[in-house]
Structure 1
Amino acid sequence: MLGKRLGAVIAAALTGIVLTACDDKMSSGATSDVIPDVIGMTLLDAKDELDPTGLDVETIDITGQDRMVLVEGNWFVAGQDLLAGQPAGDRTTITLSIGKEGEARAPEDPSPPAQDPPAVVPEVVGMKLPDAKAAIEALGLDVELHDDTGGNRSVFWEHNWTVSSQSVAGGDTVAAGQVLTLGVLKDGEHPPTTTVQAPAPSTTVDDEIAQMDPATQTAINDATYLGTLELGGIAVGDEQTAIAAGHTLCSDLSAGTDPFMIRYAMIKSSMDRNAPVSGDEAQWILEAAAVAYCPEFTADVTNSGFPR
């Protein structure tokens, strides 16, 4: 009798082990329906990670600017509306909050960041622009620029500009991270007065360049274009090829092509060559070409739409 009971107990135990193993195998195999954690990934990698779930991916720009996504590898996921680890179930869509690098990387420490102490704004009026920016940014403050002539000109060579005004007076205290606006003028310029004045004559430098022979003018224009590309961190490669590309951009502008479409074509072409440029870089290249080779289009290029 004892032998029969012992045999029954052993058989029941073995049955439980087999059933447990089967349950483990069944639960471990259903992984494709579980929503992964994609925060911190590039949008490109996040889509690949979410592909097995069958969910459609929608995106929201965390800045609220609804910027266009051209290169998914340049955008990072800051949040997702479906929690990681839960089954996708009958859901069909997941929404990812995305931003550019530096905007969207999820913090490793969930605790709130420590608040920086207030900063005392330095007096920078009369300083060269690079020195003024360095003094302000060293305090954890951001800088925006304003052309004090009212001409809305772009600043390419900062060493040629001087600070003529600042939005917060020197000695005032502001919170860290605040944006200060610096009014700037080119060396030798003065803010416009309230009286109506005749248009300013061409600068001495412009007059001198106009009187130079064509070869010298071409050399100056090429040096301006290549120098501006270098200042913007744009890899030039073969200089003659880069110069020819700059003239082509001006030809497109002269033909009436919209600057937005020119930049879009630049970005698309660079992606096809596996050497993608960002929207910021395309804008820089186009403005550099306009300043050097077709200045009559500088205002149109500067004030046009801006893809990112």
Structure 2
Amino acid sequence: MKWWRNPRQRLGLICAVAAALVIVGLISRDRKDDTRSTAADGARVAATAPAPTGPVSAAPQTRRAKPAPVPKNVLPDLVGVDLQQAWDGARRAGYRSVTSHDASGRGRRQFVFSNWHVCDQTPESGPLAKELPVDLGVVRHDEKCPAGAVPTRVPKVVDGRMPGLVGRSVTVVRRALRGDAHVKTEDLGGSRLVLIETHWMVCTQRPAEGQPVADPVTVGVVKYGERCP
């Protein structure tokens, strides 16, 4: 006879399985009780531990230093300063109309501000209205400021008469006569080509100052740093 057909054997198997399930349940309950007891003990220890008496130090914080405030409506002294720094300083002080010109009178443009430094400023430093225009006379960093007054404004033809061109660069002369006459150059120191016209200075002019403008106007030139013959 097969065992599953025997009622006694079936009853014995059922009792064994039930007993095993009861034992597994008891073991699981004991483990849960142990876990709860451990958590409760930890909470009691934390509650009875003495609180720290010293100050709690916060994490260090890095503070950025604020830049020094620039007084408004007070034009700073910009002489001797790099043109870029001078321009920025005037703008920070509230002056929006800032221009520059070549203090040597050669009429060069300031394309890269960091290549130039300030020789003079108009107006001078001090408390001034911010609407006032600021003009800076500059030369290149490898050049010295002019020792005396140098004409820097482009001369004009008035009533068809020749302006004074001696001491000006060829570039300035062309600006002065634009629309009135062509300019012809003659190298008084040889037969060199006048290529970079800001490097050449006028020694002679035809027609002379005050004479009617002729076309072309002829100017005798030498390089800057050379003496007129």
Superposition TM-score tier, normalisation by shorter sequence = 0.3 to 0.5
Higher relative contact order (CA 8 A, sep 6+): 2
Bigger helix share: 1
- Relative to the length of structure 1, the TM-score reads 0.25
Bigger strand share: 2
- Relative to the length of structure 2, the TM-score reads 0.33
